[in-house]
Amino acid sequence: MRNAYCRRLYKLMAEDERIFALTADIGFKNFDSIAADFPSRFINVGVAEANMTGIAAGLALSGKIPFIFTIAPFVTLRCMEQIRLDLCLQNLPVKIIGAGGGFVYGPQGTSHHAIEDIGMLRTLPNMTIICPADPLETEKAVQASLDLKGPCYIRIGRNGEPPVYQYDYDFILGKAVRLREGEDITLLTHGLSVANCLAAAELFKMEGLACRVLNLHTIKPLDEMAILAAAVETGGILTVEEHNIIGGLGSAVAEILAESGLAVNFRRLGLKDTFIETYAHHSELQKILGLDPPAIARAAKEMILTEELLTPQIVLN
């Protein structure tokens, strides 16, 4: 996905001299062609992410279109004040690219895990949040971000992610993509969890159950109509994401469902409000944390088989 980002960025920079590429001392091989062919519009600020955000704001105020890039927690959590005041308050068209969303950088530990980024950025006015599922969708997200007049966060993986899309399609900001049909339950997901949800749906099918899979590539704004349709048309909704269950996609969907007044079987699958204390590779962490295909399929099946009262129960001690 990093390579896909750089490919599309190179093409855009060749077409539009307003576009600048900024990095915080990472991605040198990825940016070699950009640095060689557009040296006056490529800036490596060093390990100074907050400064990079401020520089991008200045460029945007000068009529430029800056793309800033580094590891996801460094370009979001470390820069929240600058993003809030320099970018969102002034509604500037700065594109924030966070590599290694979720816990892609598993062995590097908590400092490199992006498990709160979506929740924090969702609270900021004027911010758009996009989480592509594969290299093709990454390129489409980068292209679509050019039409935004305000700031945008694009949360990508690293490299080597499997393709989700086997065909071209129309990418529309704020519109979910239905990747699989089904009426027994709906998996709502985004980014690096999409491939696992599709694999889980295959396991689901082997048991004679049909699982709808929706890729909500745009977390803000969300496709409310697709979510409400799933609530009405299927037997339940399970959100799946590499993020804290507080603040991420699950929270956003819960807000929509609660305000709709619909009674729906609903569950969030993600990190259960905890840090990851195990040092392991991405796929190992997915298994340990219950976000691999078998675990997703089990959670979905449990929702269907368990007779749960949809009317909230209040217990007073």
Active site residues: 49
Q: Are 50 and 84 in contact (CB under 8 A)?
A: no
Tokens representing 39 are 């040296």
Cα angle: 214, vertex 220, 226; to 5 degrees = 35
Matching residue, tokens 């007044």: 261
Q: Which residues contact 313 (CB under 8 A, 6 or more apart)?
A: none
Q: Which residue has tokens 């590891």? A: 71
Q: How far apart are CA 262 and CA 234, in angstroms?
A: 12
Which residue has 């709160």 as its token pair? 116
Query: Residue 44, Cβ neighbours under 10 Å: how many?
Result: 16
Strand partners, 240: 189, 269
Would you state the structure tokens that stand for residue 183, as one six-digit string? 């009426």
